[in-house]
Homo-oligomer: A and B are copies of this chain.
Amino acid sequence: MASPQITRDDCLQMDASDPLAAFRQRFQTPKADTIFLDANSMGAMPATVPAHMQSFFDEAWVELRRQGWNHFEWMERPFQIGAAISHLIGAEPDDVIACDNTTVNLYKLLTYAWRVRLNGRVILTEDTNFPTDLYVAQGLPGALDGDPVITVCESRQQLIDSISPDTAVIYLSHVDYRSGERWDMADINRRAHEAGALTVWDLSHSAGAIPVDLMTSQADFAVGCGYKYLSGGPGGAAYCWVHPDHGDKAWPTICGWMGHGDVFAFATEYTPHKGTWRHATGTPAVIANEVFSCAADIWREVDASTLWSKHRALGNLMINLLEQECSDLGVSVNTPKEYDLRGGHIGFSHEGAGPLCEALLAAGVVGSFRKPDALRFGLGALYLSYTDIWTTVERLKEILQSESWRDPKFQKVSV
């Protein structure tokens, strides 16, 4: 017997009992009736940002300038933001810092993991890892002491089969940025440790959407992007986390004044700060961090389990509605349907995915296209309603039924 049809009323009812519904108004809504499904690329703007930054410019920069270092929290922001998002990744507040961009943090922690490795010479990764993650690893042979070898596997099974005592580090994206597939983090951590290897995880496409529990799953190192699900602002700081067992094992890769044990001593000799904080490099990105702090204020109030539950329900609804409304219109969900196997976005394949993405944009739905035939919807659970998902699928259905996506004006496709 087929499942009962989902109706718009069902979605309205789910919205009425949504424990996170009040968070929607904490974010600025656009003027037009637009539904943003791009949290995997750029999170929504906290509503407090413009006023907060206006006063920052007037009071901090114009009136105080260099005295801002003494009067404001400029130096503490990297640690405050790290603490504010720590519960979303199952970390202790003091073990997370927001700093630099994702690429720089990947470099810092991958080289640190290499330095404190227990055995082996191989850094193991897979070819569906995000490109910049791969590039960081490819740059290490010939540069670092100890001759690291990078092995890029072509499938998840090949990677699992390749783990051996010669594996120094396993270096993976928790969720694939295209397919949306999720690694079983606890399983890989266990396999790694059995072989004497350490793990470095990129959480960019999972943190703030699905459950991440770094401590319980016994991960070693993690890095993530601040401006996707976490709404830290375009190009905002990324973050890094080091398991407390490894925190004090070696100097950081980039020894800078913000990671010094006594920042304002201006000592000639470097002494690392304890734990993760030693990886803070140089002057914090004060302006960018002020923006991110508006999102941090929100995240402090969000219960992680409630967030994950809503994200799961939004994803299930999206999958079910795509199948109910559009499966006979050439739409085939291509991210894992099983919850434990998927990440922050739901995607489907369609022969006209590129033009479809443009036609959806014209209809007020923002998704993202990936060559050759995939369309992704990144779900920001703090500001999306269940009715938004309904409306999205209705708009998609209309475009497919009318074949309006074949219009020449939609054939020039943005990436």
Contact = CB atoms under 8 A, between A and B. Distances in A.
A285 B235 contact: yes
A381 interface: no
Contacts of A139: 251-255, 270
Nearest to A233: B287
Most buried by B among A102, A152, A361: A102
Contact of A45 (B61, B66, B366): B61
A81 to B, nearest CB: 13
Given A66-B366, A74-B235, A143-B144, A256 B103 contact: yes
A414 B103 contact: no
Contact of A42 (B66, B132, B238): B66
Interface in A259-317: 260, 264, 266-270, 281-289, 291
Given A254-B107, A288-B288, A102 B282 contact: yes
Interface string A55-86: 00110111101111110001000000000000
Interface in A96-144: 100-104, 107, 111, 115, 127, 131-132, 134-136, 138-139, 142-144
Interface stretch (A28-36, A189-197, A326-334, A385-393): A28-36
Interface residues of A, number: 88
A44 interface: yes
Interface stretch (A9-17, A46-54, A207-215): A46-54
A44 B58 contact: no
B127 A143 contact: no
B135 A368 contact: no
A234 B62 contact: no
A101 B283 contact: yes
A233 B56 CA distance: 11
Given A131-B268, A135-B255, A143 B283 contact: no
B44 A283 contact: no
A115 B101 contact: no
A181 interface: no
A89 interface: no
A292 to B, nearest CB: 9
A176 interface: no
A257 interface: yes
A74 B368 CA distance: 18
A28 B57 CA distance: 10
Contacts of A227: 283
A41 interface: yes
A234 B268 contact: no
Given A103-B258, A135-B270, 19 more contacts: A28-B62, A29-B62, A41-B65, A41-B66, A49-B57, A49-B61, A50-B57, A70-B414, A101-B284, A107-B253, A115-B143, A134-B268, A134-B269, A139-B253, A145-B145, A225-B283, A235-B283, A285-B288, A287-B288
26 contacts: A28-B57, A30-B62, A38-B66, A41-B66, A42-B61, A60-B234, A66-B366, A67-B361, A70-B415, A100-B101, A102-B283, A103-B257, A103-B281, A103-B283, A104-B256, A104-B282, A107-B254, A107-B256, A115-B143, A132-B257, A139-B251, A139-B270, A152-B268, A225-B283, A233-B287, A235-B288
